[in-house]
Structure 1
Amino acid sequence: MEMVDWNLAVATATRLVRPGPEVSREEARDIVAELRRHAKASEEHVRAFTRMEAANPEDADTPVLVVDRPGWVRANVAGFRELLAPLLGKVEERRASIPGGAVLGAVGGKVTGVEVGMLLSFLASRVLGQYETFAPASRELPGATESGGRLLLVAPNIVHVERELDVDPHDFRMWVCLHEETHRTQFTAVPWLRDHIQMEIQSFLGETEIDPSTLLERLREAAQSLTGAKPEAEEGADAEDEPSGESRGSIVELVQTPAQREILGRLTAVMSLLEGHADYVMDGVGPQVVPSVAEIREKFQKRRATGAGRLDQALRKLLGLDAKLRQYRDGERFVRAVVEEVGMDGFNKVWTSPNTLPTKAEIAKPADWIARVHRKAD
């Protein structure tokens, strides 16, 4: 019995996820067709702007999957299952040596499956699109020949947001496609990027403590974060009191060992780069193909900065989504500063190797990255 009942996770998320906005069957067909057209058109726009081409011609034809919320859940469960396999295998080995471990494992797998499903049901109504690269290719989830990736566009969420913002739906759909196409371009033009990120994640998980009592303590702290409670010693402490200037409320913050902190710093930097680059590109290309890009960006930024309610804000904090919002902002500033100083070709040196990726400190100080990577030969 696996430590996480993945089938139950999918079933739970599918049952709990909220239905999407009401559209007729004809409207749904038109939306799907338009998203596919925009995804195809955005390829040329993004590649011309970034000057990045797929390293393998076969990867240039990465599948575009227009999915509903349950479809997004299934794709991400497949990716999580692949990424977490080494860690869960290690835990299962230890559990097998404990008397009664099999029974506890069966129960624990069900409980964890429900918990994972609950979190995915929350996220499934918020993600507009994603370049998913970790799940193995299958008939239900085709992937590119070499990179194995696929571009996901979550149609109900795109329609929901465009209506909520009251923006031109055709412009908004193209704008979203430009962002997600930039991610596809990043991974298909930089062959080592997927393996590098996967290795960093595996290293992070490999440092995870698997002592049952430690895990129980972390779960208790996570529950306190969700309810807003703090241990007595922390009463009155604000986020600014933390050495990092960040809240300790997220799950990611709660599971760090010293080694994990180093790995997380590198992962934060590369994710800031990828998200900031996508934001920079979508706004750079936008005026050419999205007439109302300024209005969309202004309204979307306001929406991004605020949660839908107190529960939404608490869950965002718990899942570390507030940190992701900072990644968009800080990463975009880094890309903009570097391109202004050394041009797009100079910026693209960032994709040379893992050694030319910016550090977390360099994301905040682009001039330091420029000095390190573009230092003169003499």
Structure 2
Amino acid sequence: MWMPMTDVNVTDPKAESTSATIGVGDRVDWELAAATGRRIARPGPRVTDYTMNQARAELADAAVRAEGPVREVTGLADGMRVPTARILDRGEWIDAAAQSMRSMLGTSEPTADEQPSGKGFDLSGLFGTVSGKVGGVQAGGLLAFLSGAILGQYDPFTPDPETGDEGVLMLVTPNIIAVERALKVVPSDFRLWVCLHEVTHRVQFSANPWLRQYMIDNVTTLTSESGESSAEMVARLTSALRSDKPREKGIIGAMQLLQTPEQYDAFSRLMMLGTLLEGHADHVMDAVGPAQVPTVASIRSAFDDRRTGPRNPVQRIIRALIGMDAKMAQYIRGKAFVDEVVATVGMEPFNAIWTNESTMPLPNEIDEPAKWIKRVL
């Protein structure tokens, strides 16, 4: 699973140039967010220390073994170093995700004009602190929820703690154990299967480093102040609601209404990128799986049933609010796009998609791959 938080480092010198321009991260106390998330996150499945250590070792090995087949099928990242993965529990993932989100959303040091003067009683710092605490608690709740749902994640924004290189692959051991038990699949096969998907994300970003800045640029636009007054926003929403212009359904349509045209364009570009990344990873999993994972057919069937199966009302509401159902659609639409393009022209011509932002699929091309082939190839 790639996440534009998603998954985005205070210590990363290359991130400093973007931090001051993004700034929305200043509204969240990320230390409080991590502490809150760890405190309210649900515990993982009950396992012995032996089982947990065995799973962690097997996942670390599988993340390395997956790299070769993924590179061979994709034709990407050939000859590059194979980095290690971080094998985490839920609390460790929450810490890592909070750090990543802080970096992606940006934090900036106060300017000289914003520093307290020491004269009189300045309330600005107080209000900023209160706002940051509220945002921290809210972010912590989101992180706690996600910490029980994410099997693995490639974070292109946080440096590898061993090498300092940009990007790190994270695997959440208790969640993987919980799902393999629920699906009643062969643990070693399922763990390699998960790694094939996540390693594909690592290969995508390692072979195409421009993707990282592309994400940051669009997140910057998406989270920037619009400059609209309340009256202007109301007028724009009223006009949009009265318009006969077609809109997307669900959370995507809501974003289309609430955002300025510039913000929605950035949102659409991020959605198309996510659709491509997830669809490409699912395509690679299916291409590599039969030769590497003996029980891949039963795993795929059980996992797809789990993705689309019924959920309780509270889960449905939370998933809708944070866009997880829209993300599930990304897998389906993205894989269908990649499947058709690769079947039509082959993987090497398909890789033209990674050239630059102009070769990314447009919204009207995802469901009609022939349009992308005609425009780009």
TM-score category (smaller protein): 0.7 to 0.9
Counterpart of 1:41 (choices 29, 44, 65) is: 65
- 2:197 corresponding residue in structure 1: 179
- The code of the aligned residue for 2:124 comes to G
Matches within 5 A, 1:258-337: 258-306=261-309, 308-337=311-340
For the 8 Å contact 1:63–1:142, the answer to whether it is kept is no
- 1:70 corresponding residue in structure 2: 91
Counterpart of 2:82 (choices 41, 51, 61) is: 61
Counterpart of 2:364 (choices 336, 356, 361) is: 361
Tell me how far 1:289 sits from its aligned partner. Answer: 1.1
**1:50 and 2:50 matched:** no
Structure 1, unaligned runs of 5 or more: 218-233, 235-240
The alignment partner of 2:341 has SS state of: helix
For the 8 Å contact 1:132–1:152, the answer to whether it is kept is yes
The alignment partner of 1:134 has SS state of: strand
**1:84 and 2:105 matched:** yes
- 1:24 corresponding residue in structure 2: 48
- The code of the aligned residue for 1:151 comes to L
Tell me how far 1:352 sits from its aligned partner. Answer: 1.4
**1:13 and 2:51 matched:** no
The number of equivalent residue pairs is: 340
Counterpart of 2:123 (choices 93, 97, 100) is: 100
- 2:237 corresponding residue in structure 1: none
For the 8 Å contact 2:226–2:260, the answer to whether it is kept is yes
Change (3 A) 1:263 1:94: farther
Counterpart of 2:156 (choices 122, 133, 136) is: 133
For the 8 Å contact 1:250–1:320, the answer to whether it is kept is no
For the 8 Å contact 2:64–2:82, the answer to whether it is kept is no
- 2:7 corresponding residue in structure 1: none
Change (3 A) 1:130 1:371: same
Give distance in 1, aligned partners of 2:192 and 2:316: 28
- 1:197 corresponding residue in structure 2: 215
- The code of the aligned residue for 1:122 comes to F
Counterpart of 2:184 (choices 166, 186, 204) is: 166
- The code of the aligned residue for 1:76 comes to A
| Seq. identity, % | 42
The alignment partner of 2:42 has SS state of: coil
TM-score, length-scaled by structure 1: 0.82
Change (3 A) 1:196 1:330: same
The alignment partner of 2:66 has SS state of: helix
Tell me how far 1:244 sits from its aligned partner. Answer: 2.6
**1:142 and 2:151 matched:** no
For the 8 Å contact 2:221–2:262, the answer to whether it is kept is no
Give distance in 2, aligned partners of 1:156 and 1:242: 46
Tell me how far 1:102 sits from its aligned partner. Answer: 1.9
Change (3 A) 1:158 1:99: same
- Encode CA deviations 1:94-132: one digit per residue, 9 max, x unaligned: 999996222222222111111110111000100000001
The alignment partner of 2:169 has SS state of: strand
Change (3 A) 1:174 1:242: farther
The alignment partner of 1:132 has SS state of: strand
**1:119 and 2:160 matched:** no
For the 8 Å contact 2:93–2:147, the answer to whether it is kept is yes
TM-score, length-scaled by structure 2: 0.83
- 2:11 corresponding residue in structure 1: none
- The code of the aligned residue for 1:100 comes to L
- Encode CA deviations 1:51-108: one digit per residue, 9 max, x unaligned: 11258x3xx333310000111111111111111126x779xx9999996222222222
- 1:237 corresponding residue in structure 2: none
The alignment partner of 2:28 has SS state of: coil
Give distance in 2, aligned partners of 1:42 and 1:104: 49
Change (3 A) 1:115 1:307: farther
Change (3 A) 1:66 1:288: same
Change (3 A) 1:158 1:242: farther
Structure 2, unaligned runs of 5 or more: 1-24, 235-240
- The code of the aligned residue for 2:100 comes to G
- 2:19 corresponding residue in structure 1: none
